[in-house]
Amino acid sequence: MSAKRNEPRQYENVDASPVKSFFVTMLTRDISLSDAILDLLDNCVDGILRKKKRATGKTPYNGFFAEIKFDSDTFEIHDNCGGIPWSLHDYAFRMGRPRDRQDRRMGTVGTYGIGMKRAIFKIGRECLISTKCDDDNYEVEISPKWLDEEGNWDIPVEPARESMTEDGTTIVVGMLHSDIKSRLGHDVASFEAELTRKIETHYAFIIAKGFRVLVNGNPVTAKPTQLVFYEGPKKKGIRPYLFKAKVEGVEVFLAVGFTRPIPSQQEVLDDQEVARYSSLDAGWTVVCNDRAILYCDRTEVTGWGEAGVPQYHQQFIAIVV
């Protein structure tokens, strides 16, 4: 009589669904508070581009604004930049960009489809998003209960309780995380200064073209990268190096020059040039679709200290690219 063959053991499928708390924590781990807020401003600009289709003319952003307010209890950003049409709700509120929308938003500032969600999760545990776009006027609420329910990824949506007077979006975040609460409370003055500087440099071109940004009631002015153009005889001064090209459909413009006039011999002897220049204004600035994605970078990201190129030093303090 032959031995009974062992029946193969049956296994169930492995549950590989994401753990929400882990997903939210990792999503916000590598971004600073100020950069998270810039992501929200990116969404505002994208709303303008959806509404206007193209940013043409000298002041295409004129009439649009974003107002940022915060204290130790609440963060709020309000804009009139077109709102979120219901046709885009899947893109706006899902974690990441659906496959069928991978290439639809070329030319806008936002890229990955996680900016708004990441910023909200970075700041606090509850949020109310109210938006109006044409006939769509609805609100989305993210609550601590939703964050704690691991298997529930559906976010409640309701008609807006208060009708908005113009197309735009208001995001109010509460139950701030302890570190954010401290940053927007005890350290509020230093954070306001940090955030304002980032907005005035990274959005310099957009603000100069009419976009208005306020931080706790204070308007932000544009601070674009500037180069000195010597107007005299060619042999008497140094002009910026300019380069233009079109590479695989992308228009490239490169300018390398000085941010200030060349110091006189006496200034050099007196070591006065250091007082006239700042390392904060030196390095590479990379602008894409009017938005500075790198501002005065002095790291290996733009080649410093790589392939024989020296690391940034004070001797390069007057040069910008």
Report pTM. Answer: 0.82
34 & 166 share domain:
yes
Q: Is residue 65 part of a domain?
A: yes
76 & 212 share domain:
yes
Residues 292 and 223 sit within 8 Å (Cβ to Cβ): no
48 & 100 share domain:
yes
What confidence tier does 153 reach under pLDDT thresholds 50, 70, 90? Answer: confident
Q: Is residue 247 part of a domain?
A: yes
Q: Is residue 188 part of a domain?
A: yes
Q: Is residue 226 part of a domain?
A: no
Q: Is residue 2 part of a domain?
A: no
Which residues constitute the domain of residue 308? Answer: 234-320
Residues 64 and 48 sit within 8 Å (Cβ to Cβ): yes
- The residues, ordered by sequence, that sit 6+ positions from 75 with a Cβ below 8 Å of its Cβ are 69, 123, 124, 172, 173, 176, 180, 184
- What pLDDT, on a 0 to 100 scale, did the predictor assign at position 111? 43
What confidence tier does 106 reach under pLDDT thresholds 50, 70, 90? Answer: very low
What is the rounded CA–CA span in Å between residue 38 and residue 227? 26
Task: Give the number of domains in the chain.
Answer: 2
214 & 243 share domain:
no
Show the CA angle centred on residue 211, arms to residues 123 and 288, nearest 5°: 80
The average pLDDT across 249-265 equals: 77
181 & 273 share domain:
no
Q: Is residue 225 part of a domain?
A: no
pLDDT in tens, 184-220: 988 899 999 999 999 999 999 999 999 999 999 999 9
Q: 14-18, 50-54, 165-169: lowest mean pLDDT where?
A: 50-54
Mean pLDDT across the chain, nearest whole number? Answer: 83
Q: Which residues pair with 245 in a beta bridge?
A: 252
3-state secondary structure of 14: coil
**Segments of the chain assigned E as strands:** 65-70, 75-79, 124-133, 136-142, 157-159, 168-176, 212-215, 218-219, 241-247, 250-258, 284-288, 291-297, 319-320
Q: Is residue 116 part of a domain?
A: yes
**pLDDT greater than 90 at residue 79:** yes
3-state secondary structure of 115: helix
179 & 294 share domain:
no
Residue 3: Cβ within 10 Å count: 5
pLDDT in tens, 37-71: 999 999 999 899 888 766 667 888 999 999 999 99
What is the rounded CA–CA span in Å between residue 267 and residue 173? 51
82 & 133 share domain:
yes
164 & 241 share domain:
no
Q: Is residue 31 part of a domain?
A: yes
